[in-house]
Structure 1
Amino acid sequence: MKTKNEDKRKRTNYSVAFKMQVVEEVENGLISAEGARKLYGIPGKDSIPSWIEKYGINNRINKAVYVMTQKEELELVVFRKENKRLKKALDDSHVQVLAWESLVEIAEEELHVNLKKKFGSQLAKKLEEKLTQSD
């Protein structure tokens, strides 16, 4: 009696580059799908037709395929996560700036004082004082 593990077939994962090579050979008429299956020892009868559907000439229009090492693929994932994090941080800072600008506008209306001009002139005076002290 067969156990569950013996009953299951061994599943082989083929690289995209290999699949595309097989599809190209079949599409160019160098070999039939059945011939490629036997030549390369691909067990599933539906494997190559599904590859043709996915990677065939009809589906490659306006698509690019990049061949990367595992290290490059990992770096790409890291860069995408970092990019996502930085975009969120930028969005958060934009919201914070809008909140501060709104707060300043409300304070100016309530106090009837131009805080932007006052703050800028006070900052300029303090900088000038520090520059003269250091000389």
Structure 2
Amino acid sequence: MWTKNEDKRKRTNYSVAFKMQVVEEVENGLISAEGARKLYGIPGKDSIPSWIEKYGINNKINKAVYIMTNAEELELVALRKENKRLKKALDDSHVHVLAWESLVEIAEAELHVDLKKKFGLQLAEKLKEKLTQSD
């Protein structure tokens, strides 16, 4: 029969420096992850792969820091403002297009002419007829 103490595994906390040393050895090809686990007596099979993910070279590359100069920062602010202005202008143009499309639909319904296809003499004649009828 198992008791609580027998079922519990011993948990070892390794220092960050030790983890980084093991990761460096594995990444440099000096030893395999399984070999390092056996050499250093690390019981968990997932420990070293998780250390590689956390402390490995790929993780360091993804966390590169870029320092901007004042000129670059000012340019970024200006570009963000321009981007915001252009987005607003685009939204406004969409509203204008919808308004014109609505106007064309209403005019087509009133004049019984397909304005999208027949724009010119027929439209002028229909408008003239409509104006004379309303008088």
Scaled by the length of structure 1, the TM-score of the pair is: 0.45
Comparing 117-126 with 3-12, which one deviates more in the overlay?
117-126
Gaps of at least 5 residues in structure 1 are none
1:29-52 C-alpha deviation (Å, 9 max, x unpaired): 000000000000000000000000
Given the superposition, is the C-alpha separation of residues 22 and 74 from structure 1 closer, same or farther in structure 2, using an over 3 Å criterion? farther
- Aligned residue for 2:83, secondary structure, equals helix
Q: Deviations over 1:41-100 (max 9, x none)?
A: 000000000000000001123769999999999999999999999999999999999999
Which 10-residue stretch deviates more, 53-62 or 65-74? Answer: 65-74
- SS of the equivalent of 2:129 reads helix
Max Rg structure:
2
Give 3-state SS (helix, strand or coil) of 1:24's partner. Answer: helix
Aligned-residue Cα RMSD (Å) equals: 12.5
Q: Aligned with 1:105: secondary structure?
A: helix
Change (3 A) 1:94 1:107: same
SS of aligned partner of 2:105: helix
Q: Given the alignment of the two structures, is residue 134 of structure 1 paired with residue 134 of structure 2, yes or no?
A: yes
Alpha-carbon spacing, 1:105–1:85, altered in 2? closer, same or farther (3 Å): same
Percent identity reads 90
Deviates more, 1:105-114 or 1:41-50: 105-114
Offset of 1:28 from its aligned partner?
0.1
Distance 1:59 1:49 in 2: 13
- Corresponding residue pairs, total: 135
Aligned-pair CA distance for 1:2: 1.5
Structure 1 distance, partners of 2:129, 2:50, is: 76
1:111 and 1:125, CA in 2 relative to 1: closer, same or farther beyond 3 A?
A: closer
Distance across 2 between alignment mates of 1:3 and 1:71: 67
User: Do 1:17 and 1:67's aligned partners in 2 also have CA atoms closer than 8 Å?
Assistant: no
